[in-house]
Structure 1
Amino acid sequence: MYVRRIVPNVQSEALEESSEFYSLLGFEEVMNLGWIMTLASTDNPAVQVSLMTSDKTAPVVPDMSIEVEDVDAAYATVRKRGMEIVHPLTDEEWGVRRFFVRDPNGLVVNVLSHS
């Protein structure tokens, strides 16, 4: 399975202050939907961190996001293995198809593909 990127998600009620902090480390805002803000390295745009107040459609803020080439294949694989699906496979209005799964450590992973 081809992984495109991995992004840590930080739950935060201080998006602007966090953005200012990470800008000191070479990050700039590349997406802001109000409830989620993604910052990327100015030198390497694939290096990212997302700050989230909450998740717009899911019951929890995921601990990390993993973008894969084929989210449907990933979903089929984790369901076949009987892993806990925290948020079902969903087409979101902001242009991603995603689901959340709990890893063996209890972390919630947002697995997604862009539409």
Structure 2
Amino acid sequence: MAVTRIVANLLTDEPVALAQFYGRAFGLEIPHDMGWIAFLTSDATQTIELHTASQGGSDTELPVISIGVDDLDATHAAVIAEGAEVVYGPVRESWGLRRFFFRDPAGNLVNVVDS
């Protein structure tokens, strides 16, 4: 048996509007919209990861999702331009990675990390 993918689901009363926010902020496509759920995709591939944690690191709240990006500063600017509230960072953590947290329009806490 092999895991082939892990998908994050963000709870919101407005799935299409939230998908459009992520599409604009992160350059993702919305290939499938059923009204009650919208899928976002990218051509990028990744290693499958599932994390378990008691906190978000540096004594922060645990984000519901982490998104790795190739340009943290540009993503930070895009998230702010979309009107999201940055609540932590950008900061270089003691374990080496650089990241920031924001709250999306639905209130989800999201970790963005320089990958």
Quick check: TM above 0.5? Answer: yes
Residue deviations 1:36-89, cap 9 Å, x none? xxxxxxxxx711111111122253100010001111110011123331112120
Q: CA deviation at 1:94?
A: 1.3
Say whether the 8 Å CA contact 1:7–1:66 is kept in structure 2. no
Summarize the Cα distance change of 1:49–1:108 in structure 2 as closer, same or farther, 3 Å threshold: same
Structure 1 length normalisation: TM-score? Answer: 0.55
Structure with the largest fraction of strand: 1
Aligned twin of 1:86: 87
Rounded to whole Å, the distance in 1 between the matches of 2:88 and 2:73 is: 14
Q: How many residues align?
A: 74
Aligned to 2:56: 55
State the 4+ residue runs in structure 1 displaced beyond 3 angstroms.
none
Please state how far the C-alpha of 1:96 moved relative to its aligned partner. 1.0
| Counterpart-to-counterpart distance in 2, 1:65 and 1:7 | 12
Quick one: structure 1 residues 84 and 58, their matched pair in 2 at CA, closer, same or farther if it must change by over 3 Å? farther
**What CA distance in whole angstroms lies between the structure 2 residues aligned with 1:64 and 1:81?**
18
Q: TM-score, normalised by structure 2?
A: 0.55
Structure 1 residues 75 and 7: alpha-carbon distance in aligned structure 2, compared to 1, 3 A threshold: farther
Percent of aligned pairs sharing the same letter = 38
What is the rounded CA distance, in whole Å, between the counterparts of 1:7 and 1:101 in structure 2? 20
**1:66/1:7 CA distance change after superposition, 3 Å:** farther
Structure 2: give runs of 5+ residues left out of the alignment: 1-5, 9-45
Q: Structure 1 regions of 5+ residues with no counterpart?
A: 1-5, 9-44
The correspondence of residues 1-115 of structure 1 with structure 2, limited to 5 A, is: 46-57=47-58, 59-114=60-115
Query: How big is the alpha-carbon RMSD for the aligned residues of Structure 1 and Structure 2?
Result: 2.4
8 A contact 1:88–1:99 mirrored in 2: yes
Tell me which amino acid in the other structure corresponds to 1:81.
E
